[in-house]
Amino acid sequence: MSTVVPPTPWGADLYEEALRAGRGPLFLRRADGWLLPLDVERWCAAPDPADRSALRRCAGPVLDIGCGPGRLVAALAAGGHRALGIDVSEAAVRHTLRLGGSALRRSVFDPLPGEGRWGTALLMDGNVGIGGDPAALLTRVAELLAPGGLLIAEAAPVDVDERVRVRVDDGTGRAGPGGTFPWARLGTAALVGHARPAGLRPADQWTADGRCFVALRRRAARSASHSAEPAKRPAVTSSQRARNTSPDSPVTRS
């Protein structure tokens, strides 16, 4: 199991206010005053074409990590996918449930339903930053995926590999409760670099509406017959590897 990172309050008051209003302004503020805008209006709207470019690639049961107000979970459910959102924000989980999606208030590092059986995991909207430790996060996501499962992650649109402490801020200097928490920003090259040691290999890469996405596939397990082969047998080719499976998802509403 990966190192446990406890859930943060995530600026509960300011974030809940923004979700209730369906708009910002809302930011992550670094100690040096630099502000990263949070696109609350887009998060609270229906999936846009860039979102749909990622959703079309989902296969099997889908886990949306850091689901926010639930637009992706609800869209997946409406399209016939078994999908579960997780988020440390109670307001986000409530919003997801109101949209008709399934969601739990959990950190990705908490015990979760269906570990090792998810066909697809999503890290959208900058959520590769969760926990401020990309190596730990991507290792944990690999644990959650089925062999051959797919991680679809959104990267920063610039070449960056940054770990910082931030707080939720409304742009006026008013901060939410709970103080600062660790966060990370990864461009595409950094994301792929951190994913490889976790056993996740690039499968696709694209841009849509100025947003950058990477699909990474967990190594597929070898079949029992291959793992029992004598050492003198020829090496197993990639075409002989076990195919990805799509078991029933254990998703239930909270």
Quote the tokens at residue 79. Answer: 């399209």
Quote the tokens at residue 208. Answer: 């849509």
Q: Is pLDDT above 70 for 174?
A: yes
Contact criterion met (CB below 8 Å) for 96 and 104: no
For position 178, what pLDDT does the model report? Answer: 66
For position 9, what pLDDT does the model report? Answer: 54
Element (H, E) at 204: strand 200-208
CA pair distance 43, 41, nearest whole angstrom: 5
Res. 10 pLDDT band, cuts 50 70 90: low
pTM: 0.83
**Backbone torsions φ then ψ of 200, nearest 5 degrees:** -110, 125
Contact criterion met (CB below 8 Å) for 213 and 153: yes
CB atoms within 10 A of CB 251: 22
Task: Label the pairing between strands 211-218 and 145-155.
Answer: antiparallel
For position 113, what pLDDT does the model report? Answer: 98
CA-closest candidate to residue 121, choices 48, 54, 70: 54
Res. 52 pLDDT band, cuts 50 70 90: very high
CA pair distance 116, 144, nearest whole angstrom: 4
CA-closest candidate to residue 104, choices 63, 60, 163: 63
For position 5, what pLDDT does the model report? Answer: 42
CA pair distance 132, 229, nearest whole angstrom: 42
Q: Is pLDDT above 90 for 29?
A: yes
- In sequence order, what E strands does 57-158 have? 62-65, 83-87, 103-105, 118-123, 145-155
CA pair distance 93, 12, nearest whole angstrom: 12
DSSP 141-199: HHHHEEEEEEEEEEEPSS--EEEEEEEEE-SSS-B-TT--EEEEEE-HHHHHHHHGGGT
Sign of the dihedral through C-alpha 127, 177, 26, 167: negative
Quote the tokens at residue 129. Answer: 């930053």
Task: Compute the average pLDDT of residues 180-188.
Answer: 96
Percent above pLDDT 70 for the chain: 81
Quote the tokens at residue 180. Answer: 């600062």
